[in-house]
Amino acid sequence: MAGYTPGETTVHTSVAEIGRVTRALRATARPVVLVPTMGALHEGHLELVRAAQSFPRAVVVVSIFVNPLQFGDEADLDSYPRTLDTDVEKLRELGVELVFAPSVREMYPNGFRTTVSAGPLAEELEGASRPGHFDGALTVCLKLFNVTNCSDAVFGEKDYQQLVLMQQLVTDLNLPVQLHSVPVIRENDGLAMSSRNIRLDDASRQAAVALSAALTLGAHCGDQGVDAVLTGARSVLDSVPGVEVDYLELRDGRLAPLPDDVGEGEARLLVAARVGGVRLLDNVGVILGDLQARREKEIAQAALHAAGLDAELSDEEMAELRRLREQVQEMRSSRRGESGEPRG
């Protein structure tokens, strides 16, 4: 097939050519899995590629395109690293067969006249300081989905708000694309991998670890409630000079504000900060509430279901089960003491 050789890396710069090749591959019932990037590839990006390659019979397309619509600051756009030759070599070593690296003119031949509106969430968190950023990200990804005829696309959880908005795009516009997420890839000291990390000097690089440390402490405070999560994380950030926090927020899994009476459940702790003039993002999942109690309830509920009893256990019933368990443990301990057996 012209434009595609199994086992070799072919770089396409034309919308028409990558479209022709991927349509032909889809016609053979092979999934086409897109990994959208802006280049300057690091190990975090390569993990996304490996995840895409794990799909049975998949043909992986990695796009490399620095999208002007995502940048509100012209200087930031101009300074963004562009390392196409190095990026292609890294992808070749991984066995990626298709790379799509179009020019701005190729992607936007008629300028930016039609764009996606990402909705209210795009104006919060990252969007509050980067107006239009997510409109640009969703616009280019919608174009990439269409141009590459992809069946699946892989995104990292480091840009968690972007991931949520991408799923919103796919859901609301009924796109025939399945999205897949990959957890945050970190350096050995915990710092989330990012193309911006290379702009950190030694002192800033050391200070930047505070972001992941803060999130780790916050996540470990989940059983103590929302205030404890935020207080714990904030204490770490405040203790490190040179970390200028933009926001630190705890939201639900879809980034809606948590209700005031939230008791337990899954949440997402997000932080953005400038360190040495470089803006960094990170996030982590948080389990709110008593995880041990939740696990105990799941086990007890499973036992009831196995016995054919499908009613949900109430909090009062769980309290009674814990009381009975403690009584059994006391009886066993007493018997061991009477028999002279060592107590466990």
Looking at per-residue pLDDT, the higher value among 190 and 299 belongs to 190
* DSSP-derived 3-state class of residue 195: helix
- Number of domains the chain contains: 3
Q: Name the amino acid, one letter, at 50.
A: R
Check whether residue 34 and residue 148 sit in a common domain.
yes
Q: Which of 12, 45, 133, 220 is catalytic?
A: 45
Domain carrying residue 320: 291-339
Is 185 assigned a ligand-binding role in the annotation? yes
Check whether residue 173 and residue 214 sit in a common domain.
no
Contacts 24+ apart (CB under 8 A), 168-176: 168/118, 168/119, 168/121, 169/116, 169/118, 169/138, 169/141, 169/142, 173/142, 175/142, 175/145, 176/151
* Domain limit, last residue, from 129, 150, 182: 182
Strands 98-100 and 10-12: what pairing?
parallel
Let me know if residue 33 belongs to a domain: yes
Is 158 assigned a ligand-binding role in the annotation? yes
Let me know if residue 148 belongs to a domain: yes
Q: Cα separation of 145 and 140, whole Å?
A: 9
Q: 147, 65 in Cβ contact below 8 A?
A: no
Check whether residue 128 and residue 246 sit in a common domain.
no
Check whether residue 161 and residue 296 sit in a common domain.
no
Check whether residue 130 and residue 264 sit in a common domain.
no
CATH of residue 134's domain is 3.40.50.620
Let me know if residue 103 belongs to a domain: yes
Strands 32-37 and 10-12: what pairing?
unpaired
pTM of the predicted structure, to 2 decimals: 0.84
The structure tokens listed for 97 are 């067969």
pLDDT digits (tens, 9 = 90+) for 237-248: 999 999 999 999
Check whether residue 109 and residue 246 sit in a common domain.
no
Let me know if residue 77 belongs to a domain: yes
* Domain limit, last residue, from 255, 271, 288: 288
Check whether residue 60 and residue 172 sit in a common domain.
yes
Angle between helix 84-94 and 43-53 (nearest 10): 40
* Domain limit, last residue, from 154, 182, 210: 182
* DSSP-derived 3-state class of residue 100: strand
Check whether residue 150 and residue 240 sit in a common domain.
no
Nearest CA to 275 among 242, 299, 241? 242
pLDDT digits (tens, 9 = 90+) for 100-152: 999 999 999 999 999 999 999 999 999 999 999 999 999 999 999 999 999 99
Is 264 assigned a ligand-binding role in the annotation? no
Q: Which residues pair with 182 in a beta bridge?
A: 156
Let me know if residue 108 belongs to a domain: yes
Check whether residue 53 and residue 134 sit in a common domain.
yes
Whether 341 shows a pLDDT value over 70: the answer reads no
Q: Cα separation of 269 and 261, whole Å?
A: 18
Nearest CA to 253 among 269, 268, 272? 268
Check whether residue 16 and residue 165 sit in a common domain.
yes
Nearest CA to 159 among 115, 122, 189? 122
Let me know if residue 1 belongs to a domain: no
Sign of CA dihedral 299, 303, 304, 308: positive
pLDDT digits (tens, 9 = 90+) for 147-180: 999 999 999 999 999 999 999 999 999 999 999 9
Check whether residue 152 and residue 280 sit in a common domain.
no
What is the structure's pLDDT at 344?
53
45 is catalytic: yes
CATH of residue 215's domain is 3.30.1300.10
Check whether residue 38 and residue 95 sit in a common domain.
yes
Let me know if residue 265 belongs to a domain: yes
Q: Cα separation of 11 and 3, whole Å?
A: 9
What is the structure's pLDDT at 297?
66
Is 70 assigned a ligand-binding role in the annotation? yes
Is 53 assigned a ligand-binding role in the annotation? no
Is 318 assigned a ligand-binding role in the annotation? no
